[in-house]
Structure formats: C-alpha cells, structure tokens
Amino acid sequence: MKIPNVLYRNNRILLKELTKTDFKLRYQGSVLGYLWALLRPLMMFAILYVVFAKLLRLGGDIPHYPVYLLTGTTLWSFFTECTGQGIQAIVQRGDLLRKISFPKYIVVVSTTFTALINLAINLVVVVIFALINGVEPSLSWLLVPLSILELYALSLGISFLLGAINVKYRDVVSIWDVLIQALFYAVPIIYPIAMVANSSGLAAKVILLNPIAQAIQDVRYNLITTETITTWSYLENPVLKVLPIILVVVLLTVAALYFRRKSKFFAEEV
C-alpha cells in the first residue's frame, strides 16, 4: 500500500510543479505579464461588442446582453486555450519525457489546469461585470461549475486524442486551428440562438446538440437570465437532451484509452 501512495504523491507534486511552471512561462518576457490572462478575452469581447452589438444591433432583445456576450467569449477563450495548449503539450515537453519516467497524462493535464486558472480569474471579472450590469445573484449560480466541468472534460478529451495523434502527425495543430475558426461561428457566442430558431428550428436543435453550445448556454441561463434558450428547454426528446453529455463522456473515455495505449511510444517519437 505504501508504494502506490508514494507514486500518487509524486505524481501530484509533479502535476503541481508543471502547472506552476507552465503558468509562469506562459507570460514570461511580456510587459503586462499575468494581466494578459484578463486582457485577451476582454479585448475579444470589446471588439465583438462594438461590431455586433453596436453596429449590427444583435442581441437587443436579450437581457444583460453585454454580460451574455462576455460570458460566451470567456468560455470560448477557455476552450480554445485548453485544447490548443493540450494538443501540443506532449510535443513541447518531449525533452522531459525522454529524461524522466512518469504518467504522460500529467503533461496534458498540467497545461489544461493552466487554462482553468485563467478561466477562474476571468470568471471573477464576469461576476463583477454582471453585478454592475444589474444581474441579481441566485442559487442557480451554484450550478455554473457543473457546466464548466463538462466543458473542461470535453477539452481534455480533445487534448488527449489529438495530442496523441499530434506526436506522429504534426499537421494536427494546423488542422485544429482551421477547425476552431469554423467552430466559432457554429456556436452561439455572438448571435443569440433565438435568431437561428426563428429561421430554422432544425438548425437550432443541431447547434444545441453541440456540447460546447450546450455548456455555454447553460452557464448563461444559470448566471445571467432564464430567458436563455438551452438544450434542456428547447429539445423535446429526452434522449437528445442528454446527448451532449453522453458525447462528452464517450469522447473522454475513448480519448483516455487511446492516449494510454499510445503513451508508451511518446518518448521515442517526440
């Protein structure tokens, strides 16, 4: 019993140290340093708000639309950072993998933990902004971490799967960069899902089956306004309601098994 406990403790310490190192290196050499963790999603929000809310007049019928948009951009930034860094984690830590024997999943998890730290900082700003904007606190706020956990599980699954493939086929990063750009417009971050529903109910249902869209809409519903259309309220079929969660669980399970099978060759291939 002592050996497993020692291994668990050593893995936990390694995970902690890698997370701290990754977070420090992420902003090393920049003038603003850790402030970029806040500025990046805020700058993205500012641009989108001016263009789509002020110029194109989107979201006028949504209560607290600025908070609605900021929440979407913050969660999207988390997803892109988590997957982008996670997919490249094994390749970037190749020197460490060749020198030390340890569970390879720790490298991927440490980079995603860095994204979680950034998200936690950004969510503080979102909550402050929501209170200033007149959003009233409620018990439903306690459900927000569950949606974030789902989004993190999805990001981790993608990171495990594509990260393992990326060790041998380095084109994965470039392909994912293109896919993430296309995916941005397939998720209701800028536009309200009600606008899609008014044009095509089927298209709205397909969008809400996307786990990213489902998680973001759930956060908006619980944090900002109950007028938000969610997968639970819009879809009638009980199986379809839980399909996004099932997809996340299946993806994470398959990705973890695939990563574990391929991890024994990482040190040789990187």
Residue carrying the six token digits 């908070």 = 67
pLDDT at 266 over 60: yes
pLDDT at 5 over 70: no
30-70 pLDDT, tens per residue?
545 556 666 676 777 777 777 766 665 666 677 888 888 88
Please, are residues 87 and 180 in contact by the beta-carbon 8 Å criterion? no
On the CB side of 116, CA atoms within 13 Å amount to 18
Residues in the chain: 270
Q: How far is Cα 89 from Cα 107, in angstroms, rounded to an integer?
A: 6
Pick from 256, 202, 208: nearest CA to 228: 208
Name the pTM for this structure: 0.88
pLDDT at 1 over 70: no
Q: How far is Cα 192 from Cα 217, in angstroms, rounded to an integer?
A: 10
Task: Give Cβ neighbours of residue 25 (< 8 Å, ≥ 6 apart).
Answer: none
